Structure 1
């Protein structure tokens, strides 16, 4: 971690962005929104997996549909490896889910450091820009106000840098694998985003053309197969599929991916601090480096204080029984059945 921060202590000016033009062959709207038609039309069915409950239920749901159509050979599960900022075992879990589903698994990872290192790098870029603007305006550079370096709901550069960019490189490889088809390769990019997660996600379309990811060689359609699902439906799909889910949910986390997510609720990040105190300390170090709180109005220092207060009042956390999160939605009997199937490694896509 310290080596990454040192690496980004001095950074070159950010390159100028070029205006992007969409290839004229890229359609403006999807040709269909019917699930079976979307699957049949796709040359590749790409399932984005964070290892979390939504992406795994999306994956098992789509794989069941693809299996009925005889299209599992077109399915690829991709996991964007975020490094140590994500929960331990996440990459291994995503790979195991793909193995049990019987589909191809790919891992992508951004070059140039993890989220913490990139936050520091972003700070120095923003600082240099603010100081340059101050000098141009005849002001003291030392008083220049630096924009927040941490990602936020309005600046989700973590998603574009650590997930979207590397996954688009995989799309380029998948297109090359098929060779010249005499037409653009059709990629159905499946996401586990749900309307119930947040107001912004509720506004997302279930099916849409991803124009920035499309070009003259590939046409990318984004499909959110479980966009309208509730939490209960997600957990019922997990119970039905028999796929293993991450133990962080049994501990009480409501979401996965980054263990300390800037978009996560306070309860989640406090719980993460109780479970990962060393990682929390690294976030504090970055807060000091960039001179800004991890979340607007909520520092990791405060999060750690609240975590320590809970430990002092209730004692350190004890490992919960496997299946704790699932049983709250499907009951103890169905959970026992699920755990038995999980132990024996059974998976029936036609179930």
Structure 2
């Protein structure tokens, strides 16, 4: 049974927000699972959407960094505002390490970006146990056992049971909560414990580099909202998407302004950076990955055979590898493009040249 809070709930609301009424008793679920309730102290909605007010009112500003261009631009923007407010000490950068399935050097780059930006604290989290490929195999085993059990219950031959695809997809992105969201919440737990002496729920502002221009689904996301699933009686999590309305051009201009280095995969032609082979990635990104990291592509192809399903609906890893091999045969091993190629394509040669010169002058990075 949930205990009554030991403090006045009105005190816990953000400034300007009316006290939240006690939640209604949860309805029973047919599945038998216990319905999740939100602690009564958690606000229904953020009290403000003004960036500087969000930073002032929070105890921690946690910037999630994949090492990609969007999180890099977001990092620069958030740090600039926090520094102007004299609150850079609140900022923590967290990178969810995906292991062998992400581009080489990503973790190191995310740390370097944070350090060069002047962030005092960088954290790395990682899912325990199996990585993404191993989880696909484990998930396939569970789905297969379930399908066979249901077939037996219907009096059918279990060997003919249709097994649901084990790979992540746009409609079943189980990889994100498993590999990123869950591990990052372990950091929230630690940060909350560090400020337990406050005697109230710790306020955490989680900054995520999702943009409306990426997909119709992300376009529907709110720029600021309460993360009720991650909040509880000890911590209140507000989600802020600082660059939600930004265009590609604005992202690259922010990177140019910041002088922070970006991942070379963009110069190779990638549009996004996360897993080398992301189910949401465009075909050109996937083929580029197969050319640059052929041994990882081969591991994905072997897993397709193990689980009996293509990596991506309508596009198998075997086909991605074939297309990569055709390009290699026609063009030969691709030479690494000049640094700054991706930026120049969006914001022009003049801005890019200035960015490169300032990198050398400020950070001592090679031009």
The TM-score, its normalising length taken from structure 1, stands at 0.93
Q: Tell me if 1:260 matches 2:277.
A: yes
Distance 1:295 1:345 in 2: 43
Q: Which residue of 2 aligns with 1:166?
A: 183
Q: How does 1:302-313 map to 2 (within 5 A)?
A: 302-313=319-330
Q: Which of residues 172, 197, 207 in structure 2 aligns to 1:190?
A: 207
Q: Which of residues 36, 40, 47 in structure 2 aligns to 1:24?
A: 40
Distance 1:21 1:128 in 2: 31
**Could you say what secondary structure the match of 2:92 adopts?**
strand
Distance 2:226 2:64 in 1: 16
**Could you say what secondary structure the match of 1:77 adopts?**
strand
Q: How does 1:167-316 map to 2 (within 5 A)?
A: 167-316=184-333
Q: Cα distance, 1:71 vs. partner?
A: 0.6
Q: Cα distance, 1:345 vs. partner?
A: 4.1
Distance 1:317 1:112 in 2: 36
**Could you say what secondary structure the match of 1:107 adopts?**
strand
**Could you say what secondary structure the match of 1:304 adopts?**
helix
Q: Which of residues 59, 62, 72 in structure 1 aligns to 2:78?
A: 62
Q: Tell me if 1:317 matches 2:334.
A: yes
Distance 1:74 1:23 in 2: 25
Q: Taking structure 1 as reference, are residues 205 and 249 closer, same or farther at Cα in structure 2, changes over 3 Å only?
A: same
**Could you say what secondary structure the match of 2:251 adopts?**
helix
Distance 1:40 1:18 in 2: 37
The structure number with the bigger radius of gyration is 2
Q: Which residue of 1 aligns with 2:109?
A: 93
Q: Cα distance, 1:18 vs. partner?
A: 4.0
Q: Cα distance, 1:185 vs. partner?
A: 0.5
Q: Cα distance, 1:134 vs. partner?
A: 1.2
1:4-45 residue CA offsets vs partner (Å, 9 max, x unmatched): xxxxxxxxxxxx964321111111111100101100011000
Specify which structure has the bigger relative contact order, considering alpha-carbon pairs within 8 angstroms and separated by 6 or more residues.
1
Q: Give 5+ residue unaligned stretches, structure 1.
A: 1-15
Q: Cα distance, 1:108 vs. partner?
A: 0.1
Distance 2:227 2:92 in 1: 18
Q: Which of residues 49, 64, 83 in structure 2 aligns to 1:48?
A: 64
Q: Tell me if 1:337 matches 2:354.
A: yes
Distance 1:237 1:42 in 2: 24
Runs of 4+ residues deviating >6 angstroms: none
Q: Tell me if 1:84 matches 2:70.
A: no
Q: Which residue of 2 aligns with 1:9?
A: none
**Could you say what secondary structure the match of 1:186 adopts?**
strand
1:298-351 residue CA offsets vs partner (Å, 9 max, x unmatched): 10000111111111122221100011111112222221221122234449xxxx
Contact persistence 2:269–2:342 (CA under 8 A): yes
Q: Cα distance, 1:180 vs. partner?
A: 2.7
Q: Which of residues 56, 71, 75 in structure 1 aligns to 2:91?
A: 75
Q: Cα distance, 1:194 vs. partner?
A: 0.2
Q: How does 1:134-153 map to 2 (within 5 A)?
A: 134-153=151-170
Q: Cα distance, 1:169 vs. partner?
A: 0.6
**Could you say what secondary structure the match of 1:180 adopts?**
helix
Distance 2:359 2:193 in 1: 37
Across the aligned residues of Structure 1 and Structure 2, the Cα RMSD in angstroms comes to: 1.2
Higher mean C-alpha deviation, range 130-139 or range 159-168: 130-139
